[in-house]
Structure 1
Amino acid sequence: MLFARKRGPLAFISGAAVLLLLTYLYLRQSDDEAAVWNPPGPQQSPDARARSRERQQAVKDTFSKCWHSYKEHAWGADELAPVTGGRRDHFGGWAATLVDSLDTLWIMDMKAEFEDAVAAAEAINFTHTELREINVFETNIRYLGGFLSAFDLSGDVRLLRKAVEVGDTLYKAFDTPNHMPITRWDIHAAARGEKQVAPNNVLIAEIGSLSMEFTHLSMLTGDAKWFDAVQRITDEMAAQQDSTALPGLWPLAANAEESIFNSGSFFTLGAMADSTYEYLPKMAAMTGGLLPGYQTMYEKAIDTATKHNFFRPLTPTNEDILISGEVHAKDDGSIELEPHGQHLTCFLGGLMALGARLFNRENDMDAARKLVDGCVWTYKALPHGIMPETFYMAPCQEPNDDGACKWSDEAWKEEVLRRAGKDASAADADAIIDADRLPKGFTAIPDRRYILRPEAIESVFMLYRVTGREDLLESAWDMFVAINRTTSTELANSAVHDVTTKEKPEAADSMESFWTGETLKYFYLVFSDPGLISLDEFVFNTEAHPFRRLVR
């Protein structure tokens, strides 16, 4: 092992860590894998099932078009440029789309294409890149996660060998004085033997979202070194969780060089923080509850977020929905909500549904439903049926009081003016609304893009699997049709610049690997039989790669 240390309160002693691995390997051979929390699954009539199969095939057709264009025009590159047919390498040049899509190919029963992709993946050299530095977080969730999931599904040992290769590379990013990782890592300097020091300013998501992949690699190989590396981070975060300016949540940035996770005043479950919170209940699920500290951390975090970050917005139809915003902790001890919504935070509804079932927190199901319904409503509110990347809305002053949350054109326009920084008349508000193309309820839309993100359909899928709500299937189909219509190109699908326009938005000529690795996978699975990637057997990493759970 790279290092040894005294353990914190969440960690096993080293012998128990090995026991966890051996227990997992033993139970994977067991025939007794009883369901532990997921209901039998939504039951559909024959007509409804036939409709879902047709919709599933439409999703597969879209994926197949994208895959074959990638193979023809950008094979071996990280991304296809879906308008011009070019190639892009933003993630090491290690064929991100290929690796991210391995489990999607398997799930969609494209086995011949899967075999071609595995053969190509064998040749990837993860010790070489033309980039000056690599993003450890992105490499972890896309490449390591992709190989682990594809191995779990197929049993092809070539994929486990590639996972070990990626894991060994990333492990060296922890070779610092305090064994905290360098998240934006100069791999060339490390190869030259230069001194490595963890950064003093690191995004919480990038250091707090390595646990699932590293732990699963240890579970599959029996080598505890990866688990030990990430458990050090978890121990520090757990020890400091109650001492932040908003106890329960961690600030957006941490000081990895000095292992400080409790200094800062900005708190969000959105961009640059999201997957840190996502991995808390998922680690508990993946390890069969043998690491109870993750449940404790999750419950503290979600209780604080429910109280301070979630808000009910004013809507013209008086919807009882929730949006997750951001919070600023003031020097005087007060807490200020910033009603800033993001597509990224749409993962929360599905996560809370998962947490409610895992930990018998049934009261959380109400918030889970309202968060998912909030994302569905936001999709429908925009001209093309697609949510923008970020937006602002006016929060109700008394969110649980229907009378206080009743729609008012006057209150909406006042908030539009306040957000614009103007103290002017209603006529000025109308001018801003027209110029900025603001649907009723929205007070600003700073980022009008849609970049093929998966978070909304992710939560629709999760909530549907948990509750069987039939209306979620219709919402999922409406979302797919809207996205495919708006983003389709001759070759594949492209991110677009502005979903607030009446005409078809301009394409950005970008198709990140999460489109085929996440978004289309979740669309396919929501229309599948619930036995396909059952939530009783699998838990998804933040890149939608399903890992087998430890089931007792």
Structure 2
Amino acid sequence: MRSETCWALLIVGVAGSAADRAAAVKQAFQLSWDAYYEHAFPHDQLKPISQSGDDSYGGWGATALDGLDTAIVMGNQVVVNQILDYVPTIDFSSCNQSSVSMFETTIRYLGGLLSAYDLLNGPAANLVNETSKVTNLLTQAASLADNLKVAFTSETGMPYNGIDIQNQTIVGEPTNGLAAIGSLVLEWTRLADLTGNAEYGNLSQKAAEYLFNPQPSWVSPWPGMVPDNLNISTGEFISDSISWDGGSDSYYEYLIKSYIYSPSRFSSYRDQWEEAVNSTIQNLMQNTTTGSGQNLTYVGTWNNGTFSATMGHLVSFIGGNFLLGGSVLQRQDLIDYGLALTEGWYAAYNSSATKIGPGALSWNATAAGDNGQTDTYDELGFYYTASSYMLRPETLESYYYAYRITGDEKYRDWSWEAFVGINSTCWTGSGYAEINNVDNTTQGGGFNDLQDSFLLAEVWKYAYLIQADDAEWQVSSNGTNSFVFNTEAHPIRVSGN
């Protein structure tokens, strides 16, 4: 049960010290973990309504490995050791699913194992007394990668996404998405550096020659921007859709993060990122005006020559990515754009009855009229095109970067408002669940029976870190960082540190 202190904090909303807020988020994490541990462990995720388990990610305990480094940064020694005791029991050569996703397995499991290893070998070493428990993390990370390597057996060396682990075969067509191909470098290169086996890094970096020089050349209308799907057997793109949305998002995210990890090895990734953000500013970024005259900034999509003024919640991480890159490259213009993009999604969160942002929004005035949303558009400058909330972290992620880079306390307040909304609306009594309608304060218009692993990996981590004291794993305001977060919010120690 929540303590009376936590309840009081929830009632007062944005009141309370940063330390009190951080403590409340730690308690929400504990509630999430306890419900998962009781009803679903070692399955991948909790189904809180039916109080059962979900095995969408291979059945290796995704929530445990996703939540491990969050427990570490929160100093939760009990949960840390519960998970560490489980890690060596996992058999990554056996799977209860017909196939697993190379992308999802890398960002959740491999990222989680490596992050915990880096933290427990460094600034959080005090949490574990037995060195073998930490060594097991790297051993299991290498075991997992060895079972995933079959994904790189295409003619070009670019990875397939579907893998039958037990039979070591490929599942599906010889196509893959941009994010699934381009979001492996950080984890696989870190594994190479830690083990001394360069093969891991070389395999993941092979895709760059195809992604940085897209073929046929006409598929890239602007420098640095490429479509969301390609044939990995030929190396040619087969899509006309260009965006920062799901399927493409973390490719752009990893360009600058790879550079942060190792500037000497990934300077070309930095160059690609700068081209992409410059093209995004010029071609995909738009402003909309609210009824009170406030200007809001959003990023649309480009499909076969047609611009669409829509933006999904997944894309709201872009503010944080611009802020991170702007701080590292000392580009104030990118910091300013990042803050504007972050403010656009705060407006979306602030507009709902629950103070949680919608699954997607649009600022297309014509479409608003066609959908009977003219009044809403005139007042807010946007309207919802999807009202659900899938326990997603992306807006909280941008709040985190905004606070860490500017020090402005309002971002802490924004994050706390969102936390209060999520904590009170998504709680089921036995874990947290996705909701159908962010504008409905009665259980969010109904629950979807799933507590996603990234609730523990990302939502609670960003909500906690923004209120927490400075630490080695925190993002720095001066552009010099000891850790860089993968797309699942797992802090990876940068090369050389």
TM-score normalised by length of structure 2: 0.89
Match of 1:311, SS state, is strand
Match of 2:492, SS state, is strand
8 Å Cα contact 1:181-1:198 kept in structure 2: no
Identity over aligned pairs, percent: 29
Which amino acid counterpart does residue 249 of structure 1 have in structure 2? M
Q: CA deviation at 1:362?
A: 1.8
**Mapped partners of 1:140, 1:359: distance in 2:** 27
Q: Does residue 59 of the first structure (1) align with residue 37 of the second (2)?
A: no
Q: Does residue 96 of the first structure (1) align with residue 62 of the second (2)?
A: yes
Q: CA deviation at 1:132?
A: 1.2
Which amino acid counterpart does residue 231 of structure 1 have in structure 2? Q
Which amino acid counterpart does residue 52 of structure 2 have in structure 1? G
8 Å Cα contact 2:118-2:493 kept in structure 1: yes
Q: CA deviation at 1:243?
A: 5.1
What is the aligned partner in structure 1 of residue 71 from structure 2?
105
What is the aligned partner in structure 2 of residue 232 from structure 1?
206
Q: CA deviation at 1:188?
A: 4.2
**Mapped partners of 1:503, 1:112: distance in 2:** 34
Q: Does residue 293 of the first structure (1) align with residue 276 of the second (2)?
A: no
What is the aligned partner in structure 2 of residue 472 from structure 1?
411
What is the aligned partner in structure 2 of residue 20 from structure 1?
none
8 Å Cα contact 1:134-1:185 kept in structure 2: yes
Give the total of aligned pairs: 464
Superposed CA RMSD = 2.2
1:187 counterpart (159, 165, 182) = 165
**Mapped partners of 2:492, 2:285: distance in 1:** 29
1:161 counterpart (139, 144, 147) = 139
| C-alpha distance 167-103 of structure 1, shift in aligned 2 (>3 A) | same
Q: CA deviation at 1:541?
A: 0.1
Mapping of residues 139-178 of structure 1, within 5 Å: 139-155=105-121, 156-178=134-156
Q: CA deviation at 1:491?
A: 1.3
Q: CA deviation at 1:465?
A: 0.5
Which amino acid counterpart does residue 160 of structure 1 have in structure 2? L
Q: Which runs of 5+ in 1 are unaligned?
A: 1-47, 331-335, 395-411, 421-428
What is the aligned partner in structure 2 of residue 3 from structure 1?
none
8 Å Cα contact 2:363-2:377 kept in structure 1: no
8 Å Cα contact 1:200-1:258 kept in structure 2: no
**Mapped partners of 1:113, 1:361: distance in 2:** 40
**Mapped partners of 2:171, 2:53: distance in 1:** 33
Match of 1:125, SS state, is coil
What is the aligned partner in structure 1 of residue 316 from structure 2?
346
What is the aligned partner in structure 2 of residue 255 from structure 1?
231
**Mapped partners of 2:167, 2:378: distance in 1:** 50
1:413-432 C-alpha deviation (Å, 9 max, x unpaired):
x54124x4xxxxxxxx3xx6
Q: CA deviation at 1:65?
A: 0.8
Match of 2:447, SS state, is coil
What is the aligned partner in structure 1 of residue 369 from structure 2?
417
8 Å Cα contact 1:198-1:257 kept in structure 2: no
1:541 counterpart (486, 492, 497) = 486
What is the aligned partner in structure 2 of residue 117 from structure 1?
83
Larger of the two Rg values belongs to structure? 1
| C-alpha distance 360-438 of structure 1, shift in aligned 2 (>3 A) | closer
**Mapped partners of 1:344, 1:289: distance in 2:** 30
What is the aligned partner in structure 2 of residue 33 from structure 1?
none
8 Å Cα contact 1:177-1:197 kept in structure 2: no
Match of 1:239, SS state, is coil
8 Å Cα contact 2:288-2:381 kept in structure 1: no
Match of 2:448, SS state, is coil
Q: Does residue 270 of the first structure (1) align with residue 245 of the second (2)?
A: yes
Which amino acid counterpart does residue 462 of structure 1 have in structure 2? Y
8 Å Cα contact 1:315-1:440 kept in structure 2: yes
Which amino acid counterpart does residue 250 of structure 1 have in structure 2? V
8 Å Cα contact 1:454-1:519 kept in structure 2: yes
8 Å Cα contact 1:180-1:198 kept in structure 2: no
Which amino acid counterpart does residue 148 of structure 2 have in structure 1? L
1:158-191 C-alpha deviation (Å, 9 max, x unpaired):
1011111111111121123332211022334436
Match of 1:240, SS state, is coil
Q: CA deviation at 1:265?
A: 2.0
What is the aligned partner in structure 2 of residue 491 from structure 1?
430
What is the aligned partner in structure 2 of residue 526 from structure 1?
466
Which amino acid counterpart does residue 231 of structure 2 have in structure 1? N
| C-alpha distance 117-356 of structure 1, shift in aligned 2 (>3 A) | same
Q: Which runs of 5+ in 2 are unaligned?
A: 1-13, 122-133, 476-480
What is the aligned partner in structure 2 of residue 4 from structure 1?
none
| C-alpha distance 388-175 of structure 1, shift in aligned 2 (>3 A) | same
2:289 counterpart (311, 314, 328) = 314
Q: CA deviation at 1:277?
A: 0.3
2:176 counterpart (202, 209, 214) = 202
**Mapped partners of 2:175, 2:91: distance in 1:** 30
8 Å Cα contact 2:291-2:378 kept in structure 1: no
1:513 counterpart (427, 434, 453) = 453
What is the aligned partner in structure 1 of residue 421 from structure 2?
482
